[in-house]
């Protein structure tokens, strides 16, 4: 089978969906009956790009200010994509929201329905395009891949589709996420002025859905000496509506006990996860929650909410918290500092839970969906 996979998202700095595309493409190489053709928005390739398109982060906000920019870019992409029919494509896989028009079998990956629950996290023009195109894209797809059963159930109910239209293909964990001794990550720890296992970490785009205010409030409730010894590091790009928590963030940064690191290279994130006391992940909604899996695979305990797919990922290894309970999260953080036996039990449970997930397993489920969509 020759599969067209839309890899345009790899032009941007890699966050969740970009990591999904990159890891899935690599793992699918092991499926001997699948030949991938990657569409990059303006052309085709058989190879993954080494890095994001230069200047992408500066260009995208500018495009958002141009009326009709989404529609114009979409029209151009469709023209370029149509040229790929000369490559004898058997099936088209769209890994991010709505698919391009294609006259053959289509499979899409629906990671979540964030636009329904948190429309304020999307640029207005993009939200209009999602609302206009997603339902048609779902109907176009012969099969819909989801990262979790929670999203499959939610999408099935929302779109009124039968269960057999959905295939759950849980995500995997990259090889760079594994336990590391302190000397292996010493340079990164020194660069951020922290000590091994003596900081808490948040990973995620700075936007209201990630509920980072809860982490800030809980950390502020710790005794001053504890906050000084165990600072809170936040890794992630600025998202939409960041101003909603700017006041709390500014106060936390002024205290000197919270550090906003911005977007970091993948290897640095992996090293910071391996050295943290715990990952704090108070998100209100996730289609999967890759940082949770990555932290567990790194031997780092996780504190997280029970929303959407997250219990599927963390299982019994998670320290579960309520989305608005800062004092409850403070208690969890204190126990992860003071109770070494509990910390070690969480670490071991997380390592065991993480072994249930792999990109090889995700690729196998995806390849099976391709064959099923082709009638095999």
Q: Tell me: the pLDDT tens digits for 57-81?
A: 555 555 555 667 767 888 899 998 9
What value, to the nearest 5°, has the Cα angle with vertex 69 and ends 74 and 81?
A: 15
- Tell me which residue of 59, 99, 63 sits closest to 81, measured CA to CA: 99
Q: Which residue has the tokens 């790899």?
A: 10
d(CA 97, CA 17): 10
What's the distance, CA 29 to chain centroid? 22
pLDDT at 51 over 70: no
Least confident of 100-114, 172-186, 224-238, 253-267: 253-267
What domains are defined for the chain?
2-172+358-373 (3.40.50.2000), 182-354 (3.40.50.2000)
Which pLDDT score, from 0 to 100, does residue 124 have?
76
- Tell me which residue of 123, 105, 102, 103 sits closest to 114, measured CA to CA: 123
d(CA 99, CA 129): 12
Strands 44-45 and 35-39 turn out to be antiparallel
Three-state SS at 39? strand
Which pLDDT score, from 0 to 100, does residue 90 have?
94
Q: Which two tokens stand for residue 181?
A: 């001794």
Phi-psi region of 308 (alpha: psi -120 to 50; beta: other; left: phi over 0): left
211 with 305: CB under 8 angstroms?
yes
Q: pLDDT digit string (tens) for 251-276? A: 777 777 999 999 899 999 999 999 99
Which pLDDT score, from 0 to 100, does residue 121 have?
65
3-state secondary structure string across 85-123: HHHCCCEEEECCCCCCCCCCCEEEECCCCHHHHCHHHCC
290 with 21: CB under 8 angstroms?
no
Q: pLDDT digit string (tens) for 317-335? A: 999 999 999 999 999 999 9
348 with 316: CB under 8 angstroms?
no
pLDDT at 229 over 90: yes
DSSP line for 242-297: GGGGHHHHHHHHHHTSEEEEES--HHHHHHHHHH-SEEEE--S--SS-HHHHHHHH
Q: Which two tokens stand for residue 113?
A: 């329905």
Average pLDDT over residues 178-188: 98
Q: pLDDT digit string (tens) for 152-161? A: 999 999 999 9
């Amino acid at each position: 089978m020759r599969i067209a996979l839309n890899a345009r998202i790899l032009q941007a700095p890699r966050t969740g969906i970009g990591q999904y595309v990159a890891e899935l493409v690599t793992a699918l190489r092991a499926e001997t009956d699948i030949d991938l053709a990657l569409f990059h928005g303006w052309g085709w390739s058989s190879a993954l790009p080494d890095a994001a398109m230069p200047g992408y982060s500066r260009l995208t906000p500018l495009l958002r200010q141009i009326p009709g920019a989404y529609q114009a870019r979409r029209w151009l992409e469709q023209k370029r994509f149509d040229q790929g029919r000369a490559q004898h494509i058997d099936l088209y896989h769209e890994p991010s929201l709505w698919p391009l028009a294609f006259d053959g079998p289509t499979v899409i990956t629906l990671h979540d329905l964030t636009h329904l629950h948190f429309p304020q996290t999307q640029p207005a023009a993009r939200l209009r395009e999602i609302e206009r195109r997603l339902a048609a894209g779902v109907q176009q797809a012969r099969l819909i891949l989801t990262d979790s059963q929670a999203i499959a159930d939610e999408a099935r109910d929302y779109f009124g589709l039968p269960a057999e239209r959905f295939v759950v293909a849980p995500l995997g964990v990259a090889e760079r996420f594994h336990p590391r001794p302190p000397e292996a990550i010493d340079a990164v720890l020194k660069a951020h002025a922290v000590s091994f296992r003596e900081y808490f970490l948040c990973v995620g785009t700075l936007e209201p859905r990630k509920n980072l205010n809860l982490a800030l409030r809980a950390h502020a409730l710790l005794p001053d000496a504890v906050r000084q010894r165990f600072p809170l590091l936040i890794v992630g790009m600025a998202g939409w509506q960041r101003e909603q928590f700017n006041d709390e963030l500014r106060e936390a940064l002024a205290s000197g006990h919270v550090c906003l690191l911005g977007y970091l290279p993948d290897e640095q994130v992996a090293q910071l996860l391996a050295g943290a006391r715990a990952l704090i992940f108070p998100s209100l909604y996730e289609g999967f929650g890759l940082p949770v899996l990555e932290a567990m695979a790194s031997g780092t305990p996780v504190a997280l909410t029970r929303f959407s797919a997250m219990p599927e990922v963390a299982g019994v290894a998670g320290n579960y918290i309520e989305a608005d309970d800062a004092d409850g999260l403070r208690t969890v953080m204190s126990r992860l500092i003071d109770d070494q036996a509990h910390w070690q039990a969480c670490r071991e449970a997380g390592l065991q839970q993480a072994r249930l997930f792999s990109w090889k397993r995700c690729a196998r489920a995806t390849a099976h969906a391709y064959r099923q969509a082709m009638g095999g």
